Structure 1
Amino acid sequence: MGALNPIALQLGPLQIHWYGVIITTGVFIALWLSVRESKRRGIDPDDLYDFLLWALPAALIAARTYYVVFQWSYYKDHLNEVIAIWDGGIAIYGALIGAAIVVVWFTHSRGIPTFLFLDVLAPTVIMAQGIGRWGNFMNQEAFGKITTLAHLQALHLPDFIITQMNIEGAYRTPTFLYESLWDLIGFVLLMATRHREGLYRQGEVFFMYVIWYSFGRFFVEGMRTDSLMLGPARVSQWLSVVLFVGAWCWLIIRRRRQVPLYLAGIKSTVK
């Protein structure tokens, strides 16, 4: 058994990559779940659809820009590949930054409480991130150090994952899988606790998402061998630290204010 074909469908010269199919699937599942929750919190579902029209292109452009900037030593000599996102090479932190900028602009322009909007989106975003890592799997990206077949078998991984982790003649640590599982566990925890009476104030579901994701990403990033670097530093690890500390600080500060409960929904005007 060889590596899986990253091409899902070939229509003449047109190639549809599994990478794009998987990421798109995650986005639409996230949208469906977010629309259901938006109705409960008093947010017009049409606002979610409108937001997606702005956020998707912004997130893709920011994700690719982030990746290219930190890989400029390669792309400066391969400018024709800068837009080739179908071959992989987008950074999730870049996508989140791009989407966050759109969230702030969009919610203020529509008069929607920003943190409530983020709370609705947060659990489904981390779910989409967990699904999206399987796009990296199909492209044989986001892997870790060289390991052995015996080690992978000892993890009781399915054969198709073990085979796909044979990259350029060596077995690699499946860090894509570790992050995917971490994200999906975070999704389950947020979904299981989000509706508990009196537990979350507005903004806190989002902050718990940031805290959970950044904590796990810090350690997974440390195991990867294809990290984006800034000198000797792993960019995503440093950003994870900033986000983890920043989210805790902001959460504590907002706890001292009279911030409405998440379940109060759109009744609040707090942004």
Structure 2
Amino acid sequence: MKNELLRIGPFTIYGYGLMIAIGILAAYFTGEYRAKKRKLPYEHVFYLVVWCVVGGFLGAKLLYWITEWKSILENPGFLSATLTDGFVVFGGIVGGIFTAYVYCRVKKLDFLKFFDTLMPSVALAQGFGRIGCLLAGCCYGKETSGAFSITFHTSAFAPNGVALVPTQIYSSILDFLHYGLLLLILRSQKKDGETAAAYLIFYSAGRFVVEFFRGDLARGSVGVLSTSQFISVFTFFAGIVMLVQRRHAPSH
């Protein structure tokens, strides 16, 4: 895979950044479309996306630094050296959701309705983001002798010249399937919050399984679990609790 897609004079278009940008735009347009269909004040979707991107990146960066606390203690310069790379997706999810909650509270919007409306778009954006990971070579899989593998040659992240499990491809496919499944749930849900709860459940379960095939586990662990698996356990049960609570909530 090639991360440097195009050079225009002093400017370079990177595959990872391009896919992130496409994912954000896809999230915005699909989110706004659904907000209009659900008769929500769709003019807020743009600002929600912008603020959630900011909160998401901050959350992803903060969680990455937390997982690398030993490196920071050994070399405080690690903080400034990793300002532009090194993110943990779960931190981004939590940061984005928290930012959306704050925005909705400030603007006096129905948070659960927007939560349901936008979470399918988050899954869609993640699907494009994982394509970016594939282009860059980050979030790579373990070494494998299986027929379905990928070998990097110029990656700055993955080991080059070694057949690896294509975890980025698996994750991207799961995210796109997740997007479609959440849309189906949103169309048939009976209580606000059910789609958002389903996102937490399905994403956590999928991420927990994919982590077994990841080869970059130096990014942190809690006992026998990777950091993301450890967080997945809590977000999975949080989703179940939220789903049960919402289904037993009184109708308005």
Work out whether the TM-score is over 0.5: yes
Match of 1:33 in 2: 30
Match of 1:226 in 2: 216
Counterpart selection for 2:88 from 81, 84, 91? 91
1:106 aligns with 2:103: yes
1:172 aligns with 2:182: no
Q: Which runs of 4+ in 1 moved over 6 A?
A: none
Aligned with 1:195: secondary structure? helix
TM-score by length of 2: 0.88
Q: Is the CA contact (8 Å cut-off) linking 2:117 and 2:186 kept in structure 1? A: no
Counterpart selection for 1:243 from 235, 244, 248? 235
Q: Is the CA contact (8 Å cut-off) linking 1:133 and 1:179 kept in structure 2? A: yes
CA shift, 1:219, in A, is: 0.6
Match of 1:82 in 2: 82
Q: Is the CA contact (8 Å cut-off) linking 2:36 and 2:42 kept in structure 1? A: yes
The verdict on how the C-alpha distance between 1:192 and 1:254 changes in structure 2, with shifts beyond 3 A counting, is closer
1:57 aligns with 2:48: no
Match of 1:147 in 2: 144
Aligned with 2:113: secondary structure? helix
Cα distance in 2 for residues equivalent to 1:64 and 1:16: 22
Match of 2:192 in 1: 202
1:184 aligns with 2:176: yes
TM-score by length of 1: 0.83
Match of 1:71 in 2: 68
Q: Is the CA contact (8 Å cut-off) linking 1:62 and 1:98 kept in structure 2? A: yes
CA shift, 1:175, in A, is: 1.1
For structure 2, list consecutive stretches of 5 or more residues without a partner in the other structure. none
Cα distance in 1 for residues equivalent to 2:221 and 2:184: 38
CA shift, 1:17, in A, is: 1.3
Aligned with 2:16: secondary structure? helix
CA shift, 1:231, in A, is: 4.8
1:119 aligns with 2:121: no
The verdict on how the C-alpha distance between 1:112 and 1:12 changes in structure 2, with shifts beyond 3 A counting, is same
The verdict on how the C-alpha distance between 1:250 and 1:80 changes in structure 2, with shifts beyond 3 A counting, is closer
Cα distance in 1 for residues equivalent to 2:251 and 2:212: 36
Cα-to-partner distance string for 1:191-240 (whole Å, 9 max, x where unaligned): 234223xx331000110111111001001012212133145341110111
Match of 1:216 in 2: 206
1:232-271 equivalences under 5 Å are 232=223, 233-260=225-252
Match of 1:263 in 2: none
Cα distance in 1 for residues equivalent to 2:114 and 2:168: 28
Aligned with 1:257: secondary structure? coil
Q: Alignment identity in percent?
A: 26
Cα distance in 2 for residues equivalent to 1:142 and 1:251: 30
Q: Is the CA contact (8 Å cut-off) linking 1:202 and 1:259 kept in structure 2? A: no
Task: State the superposition RMSD in angstroms.
Answer: 2.0
Q: Match of 1:120, as an amino acid?
A: T
For structure 1, list consecutive stretches of 5 or more residues without a partner in the other structure. 261-271
CA shift, 1:108, in A, is: 1.1
